[in-house]
Structure 1
Amino acid sequence: MSDFFAQGGYAFFVWGAYGMAAVLLVIEILQLRAQRRTILARLGRLTRMRDV
């Protein structure tokens, strides 16, 4: 098991790459959620303006 985590001496780079990919995926999800909220708010305002 320790050989698996050591990755042949390249553990820092391998696990760092996995960590960076995970962080970027989380950032992407958070950004998409924020954009969705903004779009829904704009659509709500447009709908209210059209109904007036």
Structure 2
Amino acid sequence: MIYWNSLSDFLAMGGYGLYVWGSFGVNVLIMAVEPIVVARNQKATKARLKRQIRAESRSGD
């Protein structure tokens, strides 16, 4: 088990702090942005499908 003597030792992570905390930060950012991107894509896809269905129903008459 690893023990740290201070908060700065913990944040430094034995010299790998930038990598560890940078990776953690990127993960948090992606997990926060992903639902927003999915919701936007879902809305755009639904709108596109509605337009396509309307166009096909007009041409089928």
CA distance in 2, matches of 1:41, 1:18: 35
TM-score by length of 2: 0.57
Match of 1:9 among 15, 18, 21: 15
Name the larger-Rg structure: 2
TM-score by length of 1: 0.63
Match of 2:45 among 27, 39, 45: 39
2:35 maps to a residue whose letter is I
Q: Which runs of 5+ in 1 are unaligned?
A: none
Which one has the bigger helix percentage? 1
1:6 maps to a residue whose letter is A
Q: Which runs of 5+ in 2 are unaligned?
A: 1-5
Q: Deviations for 1:1-52, whole angstroms, at most 9, x for unmatched residues?
A: 6133231222111000111112222333222111101111123322xx1388
2:45 maps to a residue whose letter is I
Q: Percent of pairs identical after alignment?
A: 30
Query: How big is the alpha-carbon RMSD for the aligned residues of Structure 1 and Structure 2?
Result: 2.4
Q: Which runs of 4+ in 1 moved over 4 A?
A: none
